[in-house]
Amino acid sequence: MVSTVIATMLACTLLQDGVPTLASPTLKIGDPAPEMTIESWVKGEAVSIEAGRGQHCYILWFWRPLDSTSLQLASRMTILQERYASKGLRIIGVVTEDEKTSVDNVRAFVDECGPRLGWTVALDKDQQTWGAYQAASLRPREGIGTPRAYLIDREGKLLWKGVPTDPNFSDAVIDLVQNRLDPAVWVKIEDMEPMIAGKAQVRQWKEVLSDLDALLRLYPHSSKAVSFKAYVSAQQLKDYAGLNAWAKEFFAAYGKDPRVMLNLATAITNPATMGGFADREPETAYRAAKLAYDASIGTELLGDTAPIYAKSLFQLGAVRQGRKVLADACEKIKGFEADAMRADLAFYDRCIKLLDEIEKETAGAAQPSPAPPASAPSSGGGA
């Protein structure tokens, strides 16, 4: 069975739902982003990419209200909107009208979601926005599908496109708001990933690692490449010494970069990446998570690093220390993201309560049983 990590790496080479096409794209990375043609702005004010030039950058993503993947992404989009609104980010979720999707049922869905859906919602007019982005940007062997995202910079240029469940999406969003999203880099990554995935299919693991190293030299913030390198080293090659040596190189080169350390910590605390208990590397996971957390204090990434740092502590049995990390982060983070983190905090509270009960049971079992009462002395009488 193909691992979930390999499946993620292969995602860019597989068709999404829809009919494959062999036509060359007319909308490419680096091109001016088309203006949207919207029937109704269901939530939020109308957005114009041209009017926002020089001030706003955008995540434009196509989604469906009843699609399970879109629903999972809705909360993450809300967190991103809250985090980066002050830096000019605007997120527009575009719904394309069809026989099952009308403005009334989209409004009903938005109302039902409440604060979980904290971004602009637009209803596409006659599939014109869909055609301008989705159909126009497809590369050979791709299919039209949802969800799909397009990142547009402050100059109105399309700089990234892909599936927002792809780990590359979060990396690209951070680059976008920091004005560091280099389309040339992402074009190279877009070409390298299918090559790496193809070698993984035929289990050329040494070559896969070499190609991943080349990708990480090009773009060290690639969470997908970090995760796949950890997976290949741990689960395929069982090369834990090599994995830890590589991690130490990353500590030395990027120990003060919370994004790189976050990606490394996320990979090495993830059972899907590392495998069973015997395959995990708790020392490396803890060090990467702590470096990520320490470097993120005072930044928007605290909401991502605190849970990973707490998780690394949890895996070491330091449940109370993990809870404190989350509680401290909740004091610094506001809005929907803090509410979501409090749900994690409630889980830690339940674990601590259970640990207290276990400790009491263990202490009670360890105490010696009370001695039986002394027998009454014999009266000494006889027959």
Residue 370 resides in a domain: no
Asked if 142 and 80 sit in the same domain, the reply is yes
Spatial separation of the C-alpha atoms in residues 133 and 183, rounded to whole Å = 17
Residue 258 resides in a domain: yes
Spatial separation of the C-alpha atoms in residues 149 and 76, rounded to whole Å = 13
Residue 60 resides in a domain: yes
Structure tokens at 197: 């995935």
Q: Which amino acid is at 378?
A: S
Domain termination residue (choose one: 147, 162, 177): 162
Asked if 201 and 339 sit in the same domain, the reply is yes
Residue 190 resides in a domain: yes
Q: Which amino acid is at 35?
A: E
The DSSP line for 337-356 is: HHHHHHHHHHHHHHHHHHHH
Spatial separation of the C-alpha atoms in residues 295 and 305, rounded to whole Å = 9
Specify the CATH number for the domain of residue 56: 3.40.30.10
CB distance 70 to 121 below 8 Å: no
Cis peptide before 147 (omega within 30 of 0): yes
| Inter-CA distances, 250 with 180, 188, 240, 243, 270, Å | 21, 22, 15, 11, 18
The closest alpha carbon to 259, from 299, 301, 290, 309, belongs to 301
Q: Which residues of the chain have pLDDT under 70?
A: 1-24, 99, 139-144, 278, 366, 368-383
Domain termination residue (choose one: 110, 129, 162): 162
- Residue 318 per-residue DSSP state: -
Asked if 238 and 313 sit in the same domain, the reply is yes
CB distance 54 to 152 below 8 Å: no
Asked if 307 and 225 sit in the same domain, the reply is yes
- Count CA atoms closer than 13 A to 292's CA, side-chain side: 32
| Inter-CA distances, 370 with 17, 189, 373, 374, 376, Å | 70, 71, 9, 12, 18
Spatial separation of the C-alpha atoms in residues 201 and 316, rounded to whole Å = 34
Asked if 216 and 150 sit in the same domain, the reply is no
Asked if 113 and 196 sit in the same domain, the reply is no
Asked if 85 and 153 sit in the same domain, the reply is yes
Asked if 191 and 137 sit in the same domain, the reply is no
Asked if 158 and 290 sit in the same domain, the reply is no
Domain count, the chain: 2
Asked if 347 and 200 sit in the same domain, the reply is yes
pTM > 0.85 = no
Residue 375 resides in a domain: no
Residues near 90 by beta carbon (within 8 Å), at least 6 away in sequence: 47, 52, 56, 57, 58, 59, 81, 119, 120
Q: Roughly how many angstroms between the first and final C-alpha of the chain, as a whole number?
A: 86
Can you give the three-state secondary structure of 169-227, one letter per residue? HHHHHHHHHCCCCCHHHHHHHHHHHHHHHHHHHCCCHHHHHHHHHHHHHHCCCCHHHHH
The closest alpha carbon to 251, from 216, 292, 281, 282, belongs to 292
Residue 180 resides in a domain: no
Asked if 276 and 190 sit in the same domain, the reply is yes
Asked if 148 and 208 sit in the same domain, the reply is no
Specify the CATH number for the domain of residue 307: 1.25.40.10
Residue 275 resides in a domain: yes
For residue 372, the model assigns a pLDDT of: 65
The DSSP line for 56-97 is: -EEEEEE--TT-HHHHHHHHHHHHHHHHHGGGTEEEEEEEE-
**Domain with 201 in it:** 186-363
Residue 179 resides in a domain: no
